[in-house]
Homo-oligomer: A and B are copies of this chain.
Amino acid sequence: MSADPAVERVTIVGDGQMGVVMAAMLAWRGTEACVWGPFPEPLAELARTRRTARLPGLELPAAVRVELDAARALAGATMVVNAIPTQFVRAAWRDAARHAPAGAPVISVTKGIEDSTLLRPTQILAQAVPCATGRPRPVAVLSGPTIAAELARRLPATMVSAAEDHALAERVQRTFSTPWLRVYTNGDVVGVEIAGAAKNVVALAAGMVDGLGMGSNAKSALLARGLAEIVRLGVAVGARPETFFGIAGVGDLATTCFSPEGRNRSCGEAIGRGETLEGYLERTDSVVEGVATSRALLALAARHGVDMPIVEAVESILFRGITPKDALRVLMGREAGAERIG
């Protein structure tokens, strides 16, 4: 764990709160970090002020470069982080991808399933950021319960670094570990990504439970039943069940369902209180990953013949005009039999 922090040069693609806080954390430990984002205006603003409205209190360390030009940002990078929301990954990389050094691994910190293809973030990135050599782009995923505002305050946290290539998982672990961030390795890329995507959909439902004032007993039941259906899908697509019971699984799910800050939970709460999805999305400038993911996940579940009643309820509320109260009545009305997890 006592790696030389100066070994890597990390370029972060995406200047949202996760991108910014990861750049700051790398700089704090002495690793060269550079930030680039696809939208020139907010990027220029970040370069000028060294601050972002979404992370009050964080000033970007002087060592972090903010590059307005993708070619300059990516030149010489030994490792690239993708912090672009799932549905926008291809668009963000369209012109930038050719500047990514061949062989530099791309690490995804994105949580979702692409609506149009049903692919996971590392699968999208392998296509969207090809290596000039024609060899497959090395990819990894870094995931866990990490509210950016807490990372910015250097509060203790944990993540999982997952890659098919164990040496890459360990390299990511070495690069991002700090005294307050413990990174575990895991070989189950599929499981870590399915867990990350699905927890946002369950958090939308958890928020609706909050908005309807149904209490912690109901929310915890939802969390447990939600975890059960996530595991069912995960196993069907080739994930290992243990992954869902770890930090990137139940850990991230718990934070996302219970922490007041979460975007997906907050969106669900507004809808539970009677606001429309359109109304909520209009008044917030955050991307609510769970919205598109609910549809993608349901399609993925159908393809694999997996029953996901909570995801189905969320999708029917968001896209089919069912009220949260009615959807919940259907959920609670299912005959309770023997408890079934796997």
- Seen from chain A, the residues whose Cβ lies within 8 Å of a Cβ on chain B are 1, 144-147, 150-151, 153, 155-158, 160, 173, 177, 180, 182-186, 214-221, 223-225, 227-228, 231, 242-247, 249-252, 254-255, 257-259, 261, 328, 332, 335-339, 341-342
Contact = CB atoms under 8 A, between A and B. Distances in A.
Given A160-B339, A246-B339, A341-B246, A255 B155 contact: no
A254 B185 contact: no
A247 B219 CA distance: 11
Given A145-B220, A332-B156, A150 B215 contact: yes
Given A217-B150, A339-B246, A182 B223 contact: no
Q: Report, nearest first, the 6 A-B pairs whose CB atoms are least far apart.
A: A224-B251, A157-B217, A145-B220, A158-B221, A220-B255, A184-B339
B223 A250 contact: yes
Given A216-B255, A219-B254, A220-B251, 11 more contacts: A144-B221, A145-B221, A145-B224, A156-B215, A157-B215, A157-B221, A160-B339, A177-B336, A184-B338, A219-B255, A225-B251
18 contacts: A1-B336, A144-B217, A144-B221, A145-B217, A146-B217, A150-B215, A150-B217, A156-B218, A157-B215, A158-B217, A180-B332, A182-B336, A183-B336, A184-B337, A216-B261, A219-B255, A220-B252, A228-B246
Nearest to A338: B185
Given A150-B215, A151-B217, A221-B145, A250 B247 contact: no
A211 to B, nearest CB: 14
Contact of A147 (B156, B217, B335): B217
Contacts of A338: 184-186
A264 to B, nearest CB: 14
Contact of A216 (B145, B214, B244, B250): B145
Given A184-B339, A250-B250, A251-B220, A228 B245 contact: yes
Contacts of A228: 245-246
Contact of A223 (B1, B183, B254, B342): B254
Contacts of A155: 214-215, 217-218
| Max count, chain B CB within 10 A of own CB: residue among A147, A160, A173, A246 | A246
